[in-house]
Structure 1
Amino acid sequence: MFPRVILNGTMIKKSQQKKIISPCNYKERFFVLDTQELKYSECRPGKKPVIKGCIRLCSIKCVEIVFTDLPIPCSFKYPFQVFHDNHFLYIFAPDNDCRLRWVQALKEETKNNTLVEKYHPQFWMGGKWRCCHLSNKLAKGCHAYDPLGYASKKPLPGIPDAEAELHGALQKTVIALQNYTPLTNKELALQKDKVYTLVDTFQADWWKVQDEMGNTGLVPSTHVIENSGNNFERFEWYSKNMTREEAEDILIKEAKEGAFMVRNSRQTGVYTVSVFTKASSSNGEKHPGVKHYQIRQPKTGEPTFYLAEKYLFHSIPELIHYHQHNAAGLITRLRHPVTQAGGCSQAIAGLSQDEWEVDPEELDFGLEVGRGQFGLVLQGRWREKKVALKIIKQECMSNEEFKEEARIMMRLCHSKLVQLYGVCTQRSPMCLVLEFMDNGCLSDYLRNKKGALSQNAMLEMCLDVSEGMAYLEMSNFIHRDLAARNCLVSNEYVVKLSDFGMTRYVLDDQYTSSLCSKFPVKWSAPEVIRYCKFSSKSDIWSFGVLMWEVYTEGRIPYENRTNAEVVESLNAGMRLLKPKLAPESVYMLMEWCWKEKPVDRPSFALLLHELSSLSYL
C-alpha cells in the first residue's frame, strides 16, 4: 500500500551542518509529508525534481516552532525545527499559518515515537544554543516539549481588566508604521507593515494590541495606524482647520528647520503639508520661509498618496512618517511636528521625560577618556555606577540635533550596542550618560594587544559587531560611520557599537545626505563617495574594512595613500589586500562586503550566519 500524502509545499531549508566544516546555506525546496517520510526535492523548471533529503517519520524526536531574536537571512521568516537521528533540520515557512499546519501535521504523525522530554526553542548558532548557551549540540533541551500541544491552537487573549471593560474590546486592526523594540515586559514588539488586533485605546499615548500568536502588550500609538484608512486626527502634526496664512505665521514664529504641519486644503478632501526651511540661495544668502506641498493621489483608483511622485503610500500617516526621515524630493525632511497651538513636540517617542532625563546633581565628572566629532567623553559616576559622559560641543550640534540623537539611541536596546542610560539637558553643555567600556575603543585595543590576539578572539570581535549591526539593520537603522574607532571593548572583552552621531533612521534603507556632509573615505562604499547615498549595504562595505582592521591588529586602511588615491584605486576595481592573519574564508567574506554593486553584497543577517559557521572551524 502506497503512503498517503498529508502536506506538500515550497519552503526554505537551512543546511543541517552534520559535519564540523559544513557551510551554512539556505535553499528553496519542495517538501512532501506522507504517512512514512518527510522528503524534500530540488525543483528544476522543465526537469524532473531531484530528491535532496528524506527523513523517516519514525526517527523524529521533536517538532516545534523556533523563536529567535535575530534577523532571519532568507525570504521566508517563520522557522520550525525537526529533530531526527541526532540532527536538527530548520525549515522556514512563508507565513505563520503555513508553519502551524506543518508543525501540527508532523506532531500528529510522530506523537507515538520515542520523543524528547525537553527541546531547545532557539537556534544552534556559533557553537552554542542561543536559548541556554550550552556548547554541546546534543545537550538536553531547556524547555519542556509537549507533543500534543499543537502550535495551531493560539492562546486566548487575557481577560480584560475592569478599566478595559469600561472601554470595551475594540474589534479593529492596526498596521505597524515601523518596527518597535519593547523596553519593558508590558510592551509588545512591532514589525513594520504587519497587522495587529487593536485591544484597547484607553491610554492616548499607548495602545494595547495583539499579534497573530495571541501575545498582547502596549505599543506607542504613534507607531500604528488604524486599518480602516486615514484616521489621523490624533497625530500632533495635524491641524484640521488651519489656513495657509495661519500656518505660515506659526511656522515662521517657530523658525526651526523642518518644522511642519498637515492641514486641510481649500479643496474638500485634499490635504497640504506646510514646512519651514532656512534654505540658502545660490549666492549663499538665507531666505527662510514656508513651503507648501499638496498631498496628491495618482489616478489609479487605489488609495495611495504621495508628495514626491516616486514615493507612494497607502495612508497619510505612512507618508508623513517616511518624510520625517527622508526628504526624498522635499526641500527638507519633516523634522519637527508643530501642533495647532504652536510649538514643536520635543518628547522622545515612547518615553516620558522623567524616564530619560538625568538630574545633573547626580553626576560626578572625572577625567577625559576620549574625544570625537561632537565633543569630549569623560569618565564619571551616576548613582554609584561608573559611566561615560559624552559632552556635546554647542557649536557642533544644536539642542534639537542633540535630542534627536538621544531619541535614536533610546529606541535601541541590544547587548552589542553601548547602552544609553539617559540624557542631561538641564545643564550646559548637555551630555549623554552612557555605559562605560573599560577597554576603550577597538582600534586602540587592537594596537595595544598586537601579537597577543588569537584567531578565535578576532573572529569573536567581528561576530560581536555583526550581531549589533544585524540588530540595527532589522530595526531599519543605518550607522554611516562604522569603523573600529567607533566600537568599544568592555571589561569582559565584548565589542559593542558606539557613536551614533551620524546614524540615520531610514524606512527605504537608503539615505542621501542633502548636504553631502563629510564622511571617512577609506571606510566608505563607492556609492557614498560618488553620490552620498548611504544604506545598510554601504554599512556592509564599512564592516568589511572593520574586519580588515581587526585582522591587521589595528592598521589604518590604505595608510600610505591619500583619499584621492584611494578613490582612484576603488574606481579601478582594486581592494584591500588579504591580511596575513586572516584565513582565506574570512577574507572571502571581506571581498563579499566590497562588491561594486550594493545589491551583490550580503545583508548583516546573512553575514552573521556565515561568520557563525566559521566559529566551528
Structure 2
Amino acid sequence: MFPRVILKGTMIKKSQQKKRTSPCNYKERFFVLDTQDLKYSERRPGKKPMMKGCIELSRIKCAEIVCSDVPIPCSYKYPFQVFHDSHYLYIFAPDNDCRQRWVRALKEETKHNNLVSKYHPNFWMDGKWRCCQQTEKLAAGCHVYDPEGYASKKPLPKIPDAEMNDFGKGTVIALQDYTPQGDDDLPLQKDQEYILIKNSHPDWWAVQDYLGNIGFVPRTYVVEKSVNNLNRFEWYNKNITRGEAENLLMQEGKEGAFMVRDSRQAGVYTVSVFTKAPGSNGEKNPRVKHYQIRQTETGESAFYLAEKYLFSTIPELILYHQHNAAGLITRLRHPVSLDGGCSQETGPSDDQWEVEPEELILGQELGSGQFGLVLEGRWRGRKVAVKMIREECMSDEEFKEEARVMMRLSHCKLVQLYGVCTQRSPMCLLFEFMENGCLSDYLRSRKGHLSQDLMLGMCMDVSEGMAYLESSNFIHRDLAARNCLVTKNNEVKVSDFGMTRFVLDDQYTSSQCSKFPVKWSAPEVIKYCKFSSKSDVWSFGVLMWEVYNEGRLPYENRSNTEVVESLNAGLRLLKPRLASGTVYLLMELCWKEKPDDRPSFAQLLDELASLSNL
C-alpha cells in the first residue's frame, strides 16, 4: 500500500553544518510529507527532480516553530525545526499560515514517537544555542515540548465581561511589550506576531502565541497585520496635509527628516523629506521634497519611489531608502511624527550602545584606517578594536546615525559593532576584535602558504556576510580585501559597510570627484554613481581576484583614468595563477557589464559551496 501524501510545497532549507566554520547555505527545495516520510528534492528545469533528503517519520523527535530575534537571511521568513536522530533540520516557510500547517501536520503524524521532553525554541548558531547559551548541540532542551501543540483543541480562557465572536481573524503584531495582570491574559513581546482568535471586544482581544498559548491582550497593544498596515510605524502620519508636513519638517530642520502621509488621492501615499542640499546657485537651500509612492501597473503589484527600485510592501521600501538615497534628494534619515517630533527609534537606544569613557581602556595602535587610528582596547573585560573617527570625516549626527545602522546589522560573518563613545574626543567605535587583522595584509603575509581550501573558504565567508546584507536591502559600497578582517581561526568577516561616503582618501576619488574606490567599482558606479547589491557583486569579484593573487592590488600599475578606459573597452582583470578555471568563471560572472546579468550573493554562495564539495 502506497503512503498517503499529506502536504507538499516549496520551502527553503538551511544546510546542515558539518563544521563550525562551514557557511550557512539556504536552498529552495520541494518538500513532500506523507504518512511514512518527510522528503525534499531539488527541482531542475527540464529534468527529473533530484532527491536530496528523506527522513522517516518514526525517527522524528520534535517538530516545532523557531522563534528568534536574529534577522532571517533568506526570502522566506518563517522558520520551523525538525529534530530527528541527532540532527536538526531548519525549514523556512513563505508565511505563518504555511508554517503552522506543516508543524501541525508533523506533530500529528509523530505524536506517538519517542519524543523529547524539552526542546530549543531558538536557533543553534555560532557554536551555541541562542535560547539557553548551551554549547553542546545535543544538550537537553530548555523549553517543555508539547507534542499536541496546534493539533489540540485547547479551551479558551474566560471571556472578559462581554461575549465575543468572530474566530480566526488573521495575524496581529505587538506594538509594545505587555506583562500579564491575571491568569487569563497573555504576555506580549514587541514586534512579535500572534494569531488573532477573537476581536469583538472593544478593549481586549484574544490571541495565540507561537507556542499555542491563548490569552487576552489589551486592544491598544496590538495592530492587525496586512501587507501595508502602516499604523505601527513612527514615520506614518495618517491625517496630515502637505502644508502641515512641510511646517513640521522645516521646524525639525534635520537633513533627511521624513514622514509618510496619505495623499489626497485615496489609497495613495506620499513621502515628504527635508533637505539642505544646495540649489542651482550652489548655496544651501532648506526645503521639503515630496515623492509619491507609486505602484507598477502590470504583473504582481510592487511599490517604488524613484528609479524603480521595487518592493512588495511600503515598509520594505522605506527601510531600503533609509539606507540608500537611490534617486531621492537624500536618504530617509530621521522619522518624524505629528505627536512626537523627530523619533530616534531607528536602532538601539542611546543607553544600549553608548559607552562610558571610564569603561574604555585604550592600548597599542593596531593601524590606521580610512577614518583615523585603530587601537586595541579593553571594555568590560573584553578585548575590542577601537576605531577613532577623525573630526573632519563626519559630523556628530552622521556618526551617530551610521552607528545606529551598523548596530542593527548582526551576522556571524559581519564584524560586530559593540557600541560607540561620543563623550570623548575624538569619538570612537568599539568593534569585535579580529586577531589576524585585515584580509589584504593577512594574504600578503602568508604568500606562498595559502591552500586552495583556505582561499575558497575565505571567499565563502565573505559571500555569506554579503548575502545577509543583500537580504537586508543593505549596500556595502566598499567591498574589498582591506575592508574584511580575519579571526584567529582564519574566518573572514566583512567590515566597514556603508561608510564609504565619508572617506576623504585620494584612492576614493574619480575624475568627476565622486567618492568611491575606482579599482573595485562597477561601470554603473563609475558612470552614474549608481550603487546596488549588484555593484557590490562586481566588487566581490575583485576581492576574489585579490584572494587568489595573495593580496596583490588590482590594476596596481595603472591610474584610475587608465582603469576606467580599460573597463569601457570591455577589458577585465586576468585570471590569477592560483585560481582554477571554474573559480575565474565566477569572477567573470561578477564582472558582467549589465548589473542584471550578474549573480546575486545567494547564488554565488551556492556556487562556491558546490566547489567546496568537489
Higher RCO (CA 8 Å, separation ≥ 6 residues) = 1
The residue aligned with 1:459 is 456
The residue aligned with 2:257 is 259
- Structure 1 alignment gaps of length 5 or more: 18-23, 133-138, 161-169, 178-185, 200-207, 217-223, 505-514
Q: Contact between 1:111 and 1:147, CA under 8 Å: does it hold in 2?
A: no
The residue aligned with 2:596 is 599
Q: Contact between 2:124 and 2:137, CA under 8 Å: does it hold in 1?
A: no
Tell me, in whole angstroms, the C-alpha distance in 1 between the residues paired with 2:314 and 2:26.
Answer: 40
Q: Contact between 1:424 and 1:430, CA under 8 Å: does it hold in 2?
A: yes
Q: Which of 553, 567, 570 pairs up with 1:570?
A: 567
Q: Contact between 2:234 and 2:335, CA under 8 Å: does it hold in 1?
A: no
The residue aligned with 2:334 is 336
Secondary structure at 1:364 match in 2: strand
How far does residue 407 in structure 1 lie from its aligned partner after superposition? 0.3
The residue aligned with 1:443 is 440
The residue aligned with 2:611 is 614
Q: Contact between 1:11 and 1:76, CA under 8 Å: does it hold in 2?
A: no
Residue 536 in structure 1 maps to residue 533 in structure 2: yes
The residue aligned with 1:425 is 422
The residue aligned with 1:549 is 546
The residue aligned with 1:389 is 386
CA 1:214–1:291 in structure 2 vs 1: closer, same or farther (change >3 Å)? same
Q: How many residues align?
A: 550
The residue aligned with 1:365 is 362
Matches within 5 A, 1:255-404: 255-261=253-259, 274-291=272-289, 321=319, 323-327=321-325, 330-338=328-336, 340=338, 344-345=342-343, 347=344, 349-404=346-401
The residue aligned with 1:3 is 2
CA 1:548–1:259 in structure 2 vs 1: closer, same or farther (change >3 Å)? same
The residue aligned with 1:524 is 521
Q: Contact between 1:264 and 1:272, CA under 8 Å: does it hold in 2?
A: yes
Letter in 1 for 2:579: A
Question: C-alpha offsets along residues 446-482 of structure 1, whole Å, 9 cap, x if unaligned?
Answer: 1111112222222232232222222222333221111
Q: Contact between 1:11 and 1:92, CA under 8 Å: does it hold in 2?
A: no
Question: C-alpha offsets along residues 502-535 of structure 1, whole Å, 9 cap, x if unaligned?
Answer: 279xxxxxxxxxx994111221223322332222
CA 1:402–1:584 in structure 2 vs 1: closer, same or farther (change >3 Å)? same
The residue aligned with 1:486 is 483
CA 1:294–1:567 in structure 2 vs 1: closer, same or farther (change >3 Å)? closer
Tell me, in whole angstroms, the C-alpha distance in 2 between the residues paired with 1:471 and 1:554.
Answer: 25
Tell me, in whole angstroms, the C-alpha distance in 2 between the residues paired with 1:122 and 1:212.
Answer: 12
Matches within 5 A, 1:218-237: 226-227=224-225, 232=231, 235=234
Matches within 5 A, 1:32-431: 33=34, 61-62=59-60, 149=147, 153=151, 173-174=171-172, 196-197=194-195, 226-227=224-225, 232=231, 235=234, 238=237, 244=243, 251-261=249-259, 274-291=272-289, 321=319, 323-327=321-325, 330-338=328-336, 340=338, 344-345=342-343, 347=344, 349-431=346-428
Question: C-alpha offsets along residues 202-246 of structure 1, whole Å, 9 cap, x if unaligned?
Answer: xxxxxx997766599xxxxxxx964377663873674967883x7
The residue aligned with 1:164 is none
How far does residue 6 in structure 1 lie from its aligned partner after superposition? 3.0
The residue aligned with 1:472 is 469
Tell me, in whole angstroms, the C-alpha distance in 2 between the residues paired with 1:463 and 1:297.
Answer: 37
Q: Contact between 1:230 and 1:315, CA under 8 Å: does it hold in 2?
A: no
Letter in 2 for 1:542: S
Letter in 2 for 1:396: C
> What is the identity percentage for the equivalent residue pairs of Structure 1 and Structure 2?
61
The residue aligned with 1:205 is none
The residue aligned with 2:494 is 497
Tell me, in whole angstroms, the C-alpha distance in 2 between the residues paired with 1:276 and 1:107.
Answer: 53
The residue aligned with 2:555 is 558
Secondary structure at 2:420 match in 1: strand
Q: Contact between 1:370 and 1:378, CA under 8 Å: does it hold in 2?
A: yes
CA 1:215–1:527 in structure 2 vs 1: closer, same or farther (change >3 Å)? farther
Q: Contact between 1:119 and 1:140, CA under 8 Å: does it hold in 2?
A: no
How far does residue 587 in structure 1 lie from its aligned partner after superposition? 2.8
Secondary structure at 1:611 match in 2: helix
CA 1:382–1:314 in structure 2 vs 1: closer, same or farther (change >3 Å)? closer
CA 1:247–1:564 in structure 2 vs 1: closer, same or farther (change >3 Å)? same
Tell me, in whole angstroms, the C-alpha distance in 2 between the residues paired with 1:44 and 1:417.
Answer: 35
How far does residue 553 in structure 1 lie from its aligned partner after superposition? 0.9
Tell me, in whole angstroms, the C-alpha distance in 1 between the residues paired with 2:15 and 2:408.
Answer: 36
Q: Contact between 1:176 and 1:225, CA under 8 Å: does it hold in 2?
A: yes
Tell me, in whole angstroms, the C-alpha distance in 2 between the residues paired with 1:91 and 1:480.
Answer: 32
- Structure 2 alignment gaps of length 5 or more: 17-24, 131-135, 159-167, 176-186, 198-205, 215-221, 502-511
How far does residue 420 in structure 1 lie from its aligned partner after superposition? 1.6
Secondary structure at 2:531 match in 1: strand
Question: C-alpha offsets along residues 309-341 of structure 1, whole Å, 9 cap, x if unaligned?
Answer: 967889876765555445455433332234558
How far does residue 42 in structure 1 lie from its aligned partner after superposition? 6.8
Tell me, in whole angstroms, the C-alpha distance in 2 between the residues paired with 1:371 and 1:613.
Answer: 37
Taking only aligned residues, the RMSD between alpha carbons, in angstroms, comes to: 5.7
How far does residue 111 in structure 1 lie from its aligned partner after superposition? 8.9
How far does residue 397 in structure 1 lie from its aligned partner after superposition? 0.6
Tell me, in whole angstroms, the C-alpha distance in 2 between the residues paired with 1:31 and 1:303.
Answer: 30
Question: C-alpha offsets along residues 335-376 of structure 1, whole Å, 9 cap, x if unaligned?
Answer: 22345588644x453533222111123333344323333332
Q: Contact between 2:377 and 2:384, CA under 8 Å: does it hold in 1?
A: yes
How far does residue 257 in structure 1 lie from its aligned partner after superposition? 1.9
Q: Using the TM superposition, name which of 52-61 and 275-284 deviates more.
A: 52-61
Tell me, in whole angstroms, the C-alpha distance in 2 between the residues paired with 1:157 and 1:395.
Answer: 64
Q: Using the TM superposition, name which of 348-357 and 316-325 deviates more.
A: 316-325
Tell me, in whole angstroms, the C-alpha distance in 2 between the residues paired with 1:116 and 1:62.
Answer: 10
Question: C-alpha offsets along residues 383-403 of structure 1, whole Å, 9 cap, x if unaligned?
Answer: 343322222222221111101
CA 1:8–1:556 in structure 2 vs 1: closer, same or farther (change >3 Å)? same
Tell me, in whole angstroms, the C-alpha distance in 2 between the residues paired with 1:99 and 1:537.
Answer: 31
How far does residue 411 in structure 1 lie from its aligned partner after superposition? 0.8
Tell me, in whole angstroms, the C-alpha distance in 2 between the residues paired with 1:40 and 1:435.
Answer: 39
Q: Contact between 1:15 and 1:89, CA under 8 Å: does it hold in 2?
A: yes
